[in-house]
């Protein structure tokens, strides 16, 4: 029976609590840096709690989604469409970063001498960059054992195991109903755990932001403030000229979508870790009405192949370093940068700071641009990392909705009704509580409402 939903008071809304925590953290970080850095365990603990839920959620959603697709051809078609979308959007993001770096050459005039730059601070990143490459990346998708994939928390490895598991359930059909039902129930359990962890969001946001401001200081932004502004401005332009038209084509509003996931966006801003928020993005996409199968295939894959914010960062920063060190970059060389970053940008996730490692790998592939230039960016990277995370997060959400529409598996009118209602008036994923809604709802699956006609189908 439907119940009347009462709006939460101001102080009870998660995003308001997170905003207060972020503001308090910035004040403490600026006033007393030595005290602020001691709060680092709060942020680290929160990120680790959420990160430990990524692999079980990815596994459960992909298995349940593929098992319900009905055919391997449907799975393959969705995967091909997703990858096609990812490569086109990534190419646009890379090109936009390259254009921004040329239109506003923020590195010109710095006249940095590569031989005079202290590179001791980037030695670890340079070492890690040596392991980057297309072949190692592809081979790393295959885990040593199935259990090893979960132990390492490697998303693409877990995806491979989940796809194989889901296909097996699909081929076995009714003989595997018990296992499929178990996976369904397990999905509800892991989403419930995520809901419990998310209640700690204000503490996690406070700890992460306090440490960042206390450790690096807002003053560290000043020397390269122009580069930071150009980067964030380019990300905003990407959203406006690429994602907004895609959303309009699909039939929904990016602004309303961002409002729906505002809690998560604030947490990405505070923690600088969008990967840890992946479970919440998948949950909310399901609540919006995006099919579980599409969510399971698109979102985890997107976190290796659809990183628009990271793509903008790579081309912009490579050109910035070249400009700062007076390295000539003719058009032909810039086209090479575009191709190299297209390859290197895949798999630019997995741990905090992965984007900086991939940037180092990109420079390693272009020996004429001094690797020492990375040291110029190290101090501001924690702040740019937040811009990358926000753009990646929004981009992957839009991608899942677009692919679902492309597959003809999305009720756009229902999607817009849910976006208009907002997350507070929608279903509670952890409890599966039904509230008054604009459209009739018959059941709850994996924290997402299912309309009566979907159940019948």
pTM of the model: 0.78
* The predicted structure's pLDDT at residue 70: 66
Question: Does 20 reside within a domain?
Answer: yes
Q: Mean pLDDT score of the chain, rounded to an integer?
A: 80
* The predicted structure's pLDDT at residue 11: 65
Domain region containing 226: 10-456
Question: Does 5 reside within a domain?
Answer: no
pLDDT digits 0-9 by tens, 216-233? 777 767 778 889 999 999
* The predicted structure's pLDDT at residue 449: 41
Question: Does 303 reside within a domain?
Answer: yes
Q: What percent of the chain has pLDDT over 70?
A: 81
Question: Does 3 reside within a domain?
Answer: no
pLDDT digits 0-9 by tens, 404-414? 999 888 999 99
Question: Does 90 reside within a domain?
Answer: yes
Pairwise pLDDT comparison (15 vs 231), residue with the higher score: 231
- 154: domain CATH number is 1.10.3860.10
pLDDT band at 426 (very low <50, low <70, confident <90, very high): low
Q: What percent of the chain has pLDDT over 90?
A: 22
Pairwise pLDDT comparison (150 vs 115), residue with the higher score: 150
| Separation of alpha carbons 93 and 444, rounded Å | 37
When divided into structural domains, the chain yields a total of 1
Question: What would the mean pLDDT of 69-87 be, rounded to a whole number?
Answer: 82
* The predicted structure's pLDDT at residue 244: 96
**Whether the predicted pLDDT of 50 surpasses 80:** yes
pLDDT band at 130 (very low <50, low <70, confident <90, very high): low
* The predicted structure's pLDDT at residue 450: 39
pLDDT band at 104 (very low <50, low <70, confident <90, very high): very high
Question: Does 184 reside within a domain?
Answer: yes
Question: What would the mean pLDDT of 50-69 be, rounded to a whole number?
Answer: 81
* The predicted structure's pLDDT at residue 140: 74
Task: Find the range with the poorest average confidence among 279-288, 372-381, 397-406.
Answer: 372-381
Which H, E and C letters describe the chain, residue by residue? CCCCCCCCCHHHCHHHHHHHHHHHHHHHHHHCHHHHHHHHHHHHHHHHHHHCCHHHHHHHHHHHHHHCCCCHHHHHHHHHHHHHHHHHHHHHHHHHHHHHHHHCCCCCCCCCCHHHCCCHHHHHHHHHHCCCCHHHHHHCCCCCCHHHHHHHCCHHHHHHHHHHHHHHHHHHHHHHHHHHHHHHHHHHHHHHHHHHHHCCHHHHHHHHHHHHHHHHCHHHHCCCHHHHHHHHHHHHHHHHHHHHHHHHHHCCCHHHHHHHCHHHHHHHHHHCCCHHHHHHHHHHHHHHCCCHHHHHHHHHHHHHHCCHHHHHHHHHHHHHHHHHCCCCCCHHHHHHHHHHHHHHCCCCCCCCCHHHHHHHHHHHCCCCCCHHHHHHCCCCHHHHHHHHHHHHHHHHHHHHHHHHHHCCCCCHHHHHHHHHHCHHHCCECCCCECCCCCCCCCEEECCEEECHHHHHC
pLDDT digits 0-9 by tens, 236-286? 999 999 999 999 999 999 999 999 999 899 999 888 888 888 888 988 999
Question: Does 2 reside within a domain?
Answer: no
* The predicted structure's pLDDT at residue 10: 64
Question: Does 400 reside within a domain?
Answer: yes
pLDDT digits 0-9 by tens, 278-308? 888 988 999 999 988 889 888 888 887 888 9
* The predicted structure's pLDDT at residue 442: 37
């Amino acid at each position: 029976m439907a119940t009347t939903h009462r709006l939460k008071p101001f102080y009870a809304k998660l995003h308001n609590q997170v905003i207060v925590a972020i503001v308090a953290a910035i004040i403490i970080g600026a006033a007393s840096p030595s005290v602020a850095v001691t709060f680092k365990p709060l942020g680290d603990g929160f990120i680790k709690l959420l990160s430990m839920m990524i692999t079980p959620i990815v596994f459960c959603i992909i298995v349940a989604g593929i098992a319900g697709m009905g055919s391997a051809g449907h799975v393959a078609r969705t995967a091909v469409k997703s990858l096609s979308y990812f490569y086109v959007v990534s190419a646009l993001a890379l090109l936009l970063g390259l254009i921004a770096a040329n239109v506003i050459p923020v590195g010109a005039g710095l006249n940095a001498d590569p031989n005079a730059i202290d590179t001791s601070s980037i030695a670890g990143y340079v070492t890690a960059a040596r392991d980057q490459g297309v072949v190692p990346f592809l081979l790393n998708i295959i885990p040593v054992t199935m259990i090893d994939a979960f132990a390492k928390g490697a998303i693409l490895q877990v995806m491979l195991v989940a796809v194989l598991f889901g296909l097996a359930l699909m081929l076995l059909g009714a003989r595997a109903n018990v296992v499929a039902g178990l996976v369904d129930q397990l999905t509800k359990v892991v989403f419930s755990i995520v809901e419990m962890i998310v209640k700690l969001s204000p503490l996690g946001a406070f700890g992460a932001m306090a440490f960042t401001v206390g450790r690096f200081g807002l003053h560290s932004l000043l020397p390269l403030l122009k580069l930071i502004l150009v980067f964030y401005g380019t990300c905003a332009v990407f959203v406006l000229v690429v994602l907004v038209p895609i959303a309009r084509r699909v039939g929904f509003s990016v602004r309303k979508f961002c409002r729906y996931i505002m809690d998560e966006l604030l947490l990405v801003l505070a923690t600088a870790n969008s990967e840890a928020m992946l479970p919440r993005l998948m949950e909310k996409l399901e609540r919006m009405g995006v099919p579980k199968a599409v969510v399971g295939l698109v979102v985890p894959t997107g976190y290796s192949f659809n990183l628009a914010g990271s793509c903008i960062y790579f081309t912009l920063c490579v050109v910035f370093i070249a400009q700062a060190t007076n390295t000539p970059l003719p058009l032909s060389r810039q086209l090479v940068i575009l191709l190299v970053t297209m390859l290197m940008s895949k798999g630019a996730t997995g741990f905090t700071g992965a984007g900086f490692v991939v940037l180092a790998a990109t420079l390693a592939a272009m020996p004429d641009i001094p690797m020492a230039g990375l040291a110029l960016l190290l101090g501001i990277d924690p702040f740019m990392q937040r811009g990358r995370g926000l753009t990646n997060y929004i981009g992957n959400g839009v991608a899942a909705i677009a692919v679902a529409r492309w597959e003809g598996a999305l009720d756009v009118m229902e999607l817009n009704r849910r976006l208009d209602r907002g997350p507070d008036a929608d279903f509670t994923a952890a409890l599966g509580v039904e509230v008054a809604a604009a459209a009739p709802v018959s059941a709850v699956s994996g924290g997402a409402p299912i309309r009566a006609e979907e159940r019948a189908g």
